[in-house]
Amino acid sequence: MFRNMRRPRLARAAAGGVAALALIAGIAACSSAGAPPGSSSSSAAKSSGGTVTEALLPDVSLNYIFPFVPLADASEYNTLGFQEMMYRPLYYFGNNGNSLNVNYPLSVANAPVYSDGGKTITINMKGWKWNDGESVDAQDVVFFLNLLEAEKSQYYGYAPGLMPDNISSYKATNADTLVIDLKTAESSIWYTYNQLAEITPFPEAWDVTSLTAKAGSGGCAADSAADGWAKCKAVFGFLNKQAQDASTFATSPIWGTVDGPFKLTAYNPTGNISFVPNKDYSGSPKPTISEFTWKYYTSDSTEYTALKTGQIDIGYIPSQDLPTKPLSQVLPSTNPLGSSYTLQPAYNDGIFYFQPNTNNPTLGPVFKQQYVREAMQEVMDQDGITTAVNRGYGYPTPGPVPPQPVSQWVPAIEKENNGQGPYPFSIANAKALLTSHGWTEQGGVMTCTTPAKCGTGIASGTKLAFQVQYPTGEANVQQEMSVYKSDAAQAGMDVTIIGQSFDSILGQDTQCSGAKCTWQVDGSGGWVFNGPGFEPTGEPLFQTGAGSNAGGYSNSHEDSLIAGTHSSSQLSVFDQYATYTAQQVPFIWTPNTYVVQAVNSSLKGVAFSPFFDTLPEYFYFTK
């Protein structure tokens, strides 16, 4: 599965370049050393110390610290930009380079060993330490799995039938060894990349129900289903409550127990969020900077002003402040910031989309019709938006698999129509598709006049009028919405666009039913395959009942194709899933943009990649 539900279109990572993900028979280790092509490396002498400041995306806050994230707080910023700097997952993915693979040197466990045809997994821990002296051991992994068993509905990455449902048993056979038995044999690639990737070991210091309780006294790490996971439920209730008290993030003894390279020293969700090195970090490299600080901005214009005036070391240039360029060129011909900053492209291993709400009591039956979704897609002018709004810094999203980085996961159907996929921009086609299914344009709006052709549950007189909510703070996103509204109107779709904060949209955009299911179309961003799932399979987004399938899309054949990718590593099996999903257009694909990042010319070791890991332990200033 995948760590974050929705993602705005700008982010950064201390990893670099565009990489291809090779189809491999096993899980390949990758080195964490070295700087990628295009990174801000230098032969100049390192200077120890110094504070690195980096800009957050406008109006995005880091607001949930506990790495057992509920759906309402699921964003890559909370996980990769906040939690994983302090609490390392069982398996880390990506590096300070261009890899899309599992990174065993940065992981707290050695590579998993699969046996019994893929039904048994043995995990050996490395013996890393928490900063309170406790070992990061097998029982810490059991603690996480027990909590997941008790509160899986509270975890954003859960999908019915997957972890922990697909596990028959798990046990710490000694301090550093965990054995997991699965109910059925699974693909070692998929299970490592999309299941084990979910696990974050939890320290004994968190197994409590009060701030003054003795470490481990909560009993969750030793709990079982015999008592209905009562101890774990109590521990979760306490930890979740603590995670909602932002005023204590930097001072709580709970969150001060870390095994990552940094620990939190100051927290203000709409101000500065600062970290200092964890001197007890077991991994490598050790941080050499003295402090790392996230800076909060309410808009991209204020962020860019801070960048131009030298107030931040790492930031992005808003698309409206970049010169227009041809699609074939990566970076602008001139640097608008001059020699004070170096420029780098930052791609993402993601897909972007609008998500229709098929559970909406009024429009749900409309959105359930594949032909309606096709028409909604055909009025999305991806190439036109990329050129006119994003000045050439982007490319289409043609389906469920990211077209960049280039990989063999991309099915042939996504390469059709010059990379637009099976439903290229055509207002005429969209209009014809609707009229052929019983809709007639009345007063400029398509209206169902032949219910038998419109589809199940669609009454006569139903109008194709819907609201799209989008995150505020980025001028280019608002412009994209306006273009879509205008193009959709030409095909008889009455679109109302509503700007809200990113966090507000996440808070209301959950699985729903009945009168409470008022939202109609979510246009808040997309999905980047950077954790906890890294193989671009569909279980978190398109599987029936998946935690991040907030729109309620459900298709039994889709479910069976997704299941096939879990048991087979054959590319043909994956291709069947990806092709069918592109044809189904469960979401409305929108243009994917890449970001031009600016880095202080004296700051080195910074690079950008499709994974948005934040790894300031690689950063250093030059003398």
Cα of first residue to Cα of last residue in the chain, in angstroms, is 43
Average pLDDT, the chain: 89
Per-residue confidence (pLDDT) for residue 172, from 0 to 100: 98
d(CA 201, CA 213) in angstroms, rounded, equals 20
Burial of 49 per CB tally in 10 Å (0-12, 13-18, 19+): exposed
Residue 25: predicted pLDDT: 28
For residue 144, report the phi and psi dihedrals to the nearest 5 degrees.
-60, -50
- pLDDT for res 17: 25
pTM for this model (two decimals): 0.79
pLDDT at residue 82 greater than cutoff 70: yes
Q: What pLDDT band is residue 98 in, cutting at 50, 70 and 90? A: low
* C-beta of residue 178 within 8 angstroms of C-beta of residue 171: yes
Which token pair is 228? 């209905």
Gyration radius from the chain CA atoms: 24
pLDDT category, 282, cuts 50, 70, 90? very high
Residue 24 burial (10 A CB sphere; 0-12, 13-18, 19+): exposed
How many H helices and E strands in the chain? 16, 25
pLDDT value at residue 13 = 31
Contact (Cβ atoms closer than 8 angstroms) between residue 589 and residue 353: yes
Per-residue pLDDT of 499-547, as tens digits, reads 988 777 777 666 566 566 889 999 987 888 887 688 999 988 999 988 7
**417-455 pLDDT, tens digit each:** 999 999 999 999 999 999 999 999 999 999 999 999 999
Phi, psi for residue 391 in degrees, rounded to 5: 55, 25
Q: How confident is the model at residue 75 (pLDDT cuts 50, 70, 90)?
A: confident
Using the predicted structure, report yes or no on whether residue 107 has a pLDDT greater than 80: yes
What is the structure's pLDDT at 14?
A: 30
Distances from the Cα of 496 to the Cα of 377, 395, 462, 520, angstroms: 16, 25, 16, 10
Structural tokens at position 329: 């060129």
Q: Among candidates 295, 386, 411, 322, which has minimal Cα distance to 57?
A: 295
Can you list the domains of the chain with their CATH numbers? 59-240 (3.90.76.10), 350-593 (3.10.105.10)
Structure tokens at 517: 């299911």
Give the amino acid at 484.
Y
Is the distance from CB of 621 to CB of 50 less than 8 angstroms? yes
